[in-house]
Amino acid sequence: MGTQREQGDGRWGNPRLIAGRYRLDARLGRGGMGVVWRATDRLLRRQVAVKELLLDETLSADEVRQQRDRTLREARAVAQLSHPHIIVVHDVVEHDERPFIVMELIDGCSLAERISRDGPLDAPEAARIGIALLSALRTAHAAGVLHRDLKPANVLLEPATGRVVLTDFGIARLTGAPTLTESGTFVGSPEYTAPERMTGARTGPESDLWSLGALLCASLSGESPFRRDSLGGIVHAVIADDIRPPVEAEPLLPVVRGLLERDPDQRLDAERAERMLRDFLDMGRLPPQAVAYRRRRVLVGALLVAATAGAGASAAALLMNGEGGTPRPDVSAPAGYRVVEEPAGFSLAVPAGFTRRAQGLYVSSGETFRLSVRISEPEPGGPLDAMRRAHAKGPDTHAGYRDGRVIATTHHGHPAARREFTWNAGGLAKSTYELWWQEDGRLYEVQVSAPVGEVRLGRAYFDVALDTFMRA
């Protein structure tokens, strides 16, 4: 196709020059939505990549409009993002009534090509790529942009710099924009599509994180854990089969299992997944305190009902309720912890050696570590504004308050905010981690303080507390 157009096509005029500025030099690749060309920007005299939308001559005028809208939406979604691991969009032009997206040219190959050529990655390299993609997704999600097609073919690697670049937001959706997905279908790659998207139940940032979990498995083993011989087999594997990460994923298993949690509200969030992968690179392993996420069998039943409507209510009910009644999530303490129940109506796992000092307050011997939980009425503006106010008052409430930062996030689908800071307690420098979230009309606060020299252990205590926290 590229050769034919280079030789001339009467519909194009000059087949190698787009919008009087971009000269198409060579075809780099082809995807579901278009062809990517290596091109020359004759005005700025630089090499760029140009994505051309392919039009099917059998499409109706309305379908052609949808394709054009999708491409323009991709450009607008990505152009507003600025991040070292997200492809840079330089320009959007139209030529011969076709849109073209002009992007930076990455001198490298896709992750899919690298796996095909060199075989699966080792765990440190997979973790490095995962960290880069999580950082990119956090920026995109904060801007209201969903990728919706995260897979190895859409991750570019630049060998000279080691840079990882997320590209092809071809089906990304700006929050609030109308979907272009036709009824009864979904857009994306089934082996990397989250179960809630597969069934049409919902689509959110959590869906991109599921895709990342499948991508990590593919990076480590060579293929997605949901690969099957047919589309029907893939759908069943995603929404119903036991999820069996490959043995090669063992070093990163808590991260992979957390990302491949079928309940999007229980799925590992981007911030925590990134932190766990960084811990792995720092220590060569994940800390023993890393725990698997709770799973709710009821969601699997609900997904099956959505995917196999009309297949029989009794079977669906059995899947949802087991032998009768909807099960509550199981809570168990990892080794070295114990589950405590508070009169205020919650339970969580605390280190076995911690002593209860007051309601929701547990301390280590010598009180060098402190773990506290507080429940209060919601504050104006939600947890993020409340935490920002606390941050502003930090120097007044904590001696030597410094290195404070507040991050907007979510906790099990609820609005949340996270703060980290350093301060002085009786001459000892301490680091504090806390998460505030709003749920069912209440504000929940979980906080752990640890000596600066033992931040990894303090962070592990914090992670376990959050993972095991359960309201009565």
CA distance 174 to 97: 24
Asked whether 327 and 298 are in contact (CB, 8 A), the reply is: yes
Angle at 287 between CA 286 and CA 289, to 5 degrees: 125
Asked whether 238 and 210 are in contact (CB, 8 A), the reply is: no
Q: What is the DSSP letter of 86?
A: B
* Side-chain-side CA neighbours of residue 298 (13 Å): 12
Residue 27 tokens, joined:
């075809």
Residue 86 tokens, joined:
């997200």
The CB-based long-range contact list for 66-72 (8 Å cut-off, 24+ gap) reads: 66/180, 67/33, 68/98, 68/99, 69/180, 70/33, 70/170, 70/171, 70/180, 71/33, 71/34, 71/99, 71/101, 71/170, 72/99
* Side-chain-side CA neighbours of residue 73 (13 Å): 22
Residue 415 tokens, joined:
């609005």
279 tagged catalytic: no
Q: Give kind and range of the element (H or E) at residue 353.
A: none
Annotated catalytic residue: which of 9, 69, 149, 242?
A: 149
Q: What is the DSSP letter of 287?
A: -
Residue 318 tokens, joined:
């059995």
DSSP, collapsed to helix, strand or coil, labels residue 50 as strand
CA distance 367 to 449: 10
Asked whether 312 and 277 are in contact (CB, 8 A), the reply is: no
Tokens 């190959």 appear where? 109
CA distance 76 to 175: 12
* Side-chain-side CA neighbours of residue 429 (13 Å): 8
Residue 413 tokens, joined:
């689908």
Asked whether 193 and 212 are in contact (CB, 8 A), the reply is: no
Question: Which residues does the annotation mark as catalytic?
Answer: 149
